Amino acid sequence: MTRPAHRFAPLFALATLGLMLTAGCGGGKEEEEEQPKAARAAKGSEAGAPASAPSGAAPGAMGTSSILGKVVFEGPAPAREKFKMTADAYCAKQHPGEVEKEDVEIGPDKGLANVFVYVKSGISGTYPPPATPAVIDQKGCMYHPHVFGMVAGQSLDILNSDPTLHNIHALPEKNDPFNLGMPVQGMKYTKKFDRPEVMIHIKCDVHAWMSAYVGVVPHPFFAVSARDGTYTIKDLPAGTYTIEAWHERFGTQTRQVTVADKEAKTLGFTFKAGA
């Protein structure tokens, strides 16, 4: 027996209304999540940092030149803030006395450590990120290293070597931020910063004294000054470059230098308080 078609009309109307509501509400969360990413990408583009290599861009070359030198501090060394790790029993056991903040490390010969030195301009071509990841470790309730560099798109392995809760909170402006809790010894996360950015601050919300900085650049030509203030940037092609030295407390300095094939050019930087 054939039933009248009008008996199915209410059911059809309800189904149609459900589909309309689903279409109207669906995707709202995705749009909310994507909007901050788009805004950050636009900000990075305005700053001149490419989101990706231009189509057909020539590969960057490695060379035989190098830039090396020493970063020194001029004047009396500023006092370093001291703190105790009593907020965490494990951390206090690792550091029973006072610990000095890592923002200013000056050697007996005035060498200034933890200065990020990199080629700011003059490099042509594109460089793929290294297959070997950069590493930051939470060990002894401190970040190791305190200052480091990596190539945009390179993997960053984040380790927790301590049997206590840490978290790693990255605060970039051009890349996607993240905040990862790491409560178990031996945990590892792997993240990436896809866009060049100098510098990105990393902190621990559990332990306020834990702080680190990473410089993300589009090529492998960077270094961090050692405890004696020395640094070396290797394998540069011959050319003229702008070199920038960054320090978390004393700001930045830029110098221009020209290097020929197989030449090792010396370039020093001098920082002082209040500059």
Whole-structure pTM value: 0.79
Domain 60-120+220-275: CATH superfamily, name plus number: Carboxypeptidase-like, regulatory domain (2.60.40.1120)
pLDDT tens, residue by residue, 151-190 = 999 999 999 999 999 999 999 999 999 999 999 999 999 9
**Is the pLDDT score of 51 beyond 60?**
no
Question: For residue 43, what pLDDT is reported?
Answer: 37
Please give the DSSP secondary-structure letter assigned to residue 261.
Answer: T
Rounded-to-integer distance, Cα 37 and Cα 114, Å = 30
CATH fold group of domain 128-218: Immunoglobulin-like (2.60.40)
| pLDDT on residue 228 | 96
How is the chain split among helix, strand and coil, in percent rounded to 5? 15, 40, 45
DSSP, collapsed to helix, strand or coil, labels residue 173 as coil
pLDDT recorded at residue 2: 44
pLDDT at 142 over 70: yes
Residues, the chain, total? 275
Say whether pLDDT at 38 is over 50. Answer: no
- Long-range contacts, 171-175 (Cβ 8 Å, 24+): 171/200, 171/201, 171/202, 171/203, 172/197, 172/200, 173/40, 173/43, 173/197, 174/40, 174/43, 174/44, 174/47, 174/49, 175/40, 175/44, 175/200, 175/216
Q: What is the pLDDT of residues 88-128, one digit of tens each?
A: 999 999 998 888 899 999 998 999 999 999 999 999 999 99
pLDDT, greater one: 88 or 14: 88
Instruction: Choose the weakest-confidence range: 37-46, 164-173, 199-208.
Output: 37-46
Spans of all domains in the chain: 60-120+220-275, 128-218
Does residue 115 or residue 20 have the better pLDDT?
115
pLDDT exceeds cutoff 70 at 21? no
Using pLDDT thresholds of 50, 70 and 90, give the confidence band for residue 29: very low
Residue pair 141/271 in contact (Cβ under 8 Å)? The answer is: no
Instruction: Please name the amino acid found at residue 189.
Output: Y
Q: Supply the pLDDT for residue 223.
A: 98
Note the pLDDT of residue 56: 54
Instruction: List, for residues 214-230, the tens digit of each pLDDT value.
Output: 999 999 999 999 999 99
pLDDT over 90 (residue 77):
no
pLDDT at residue number 275: 61
More confidently predicted of 244 and 108 = 244
Q: Are 60-120+220-275 and 128-218 the same fold in CATH?
A: yes
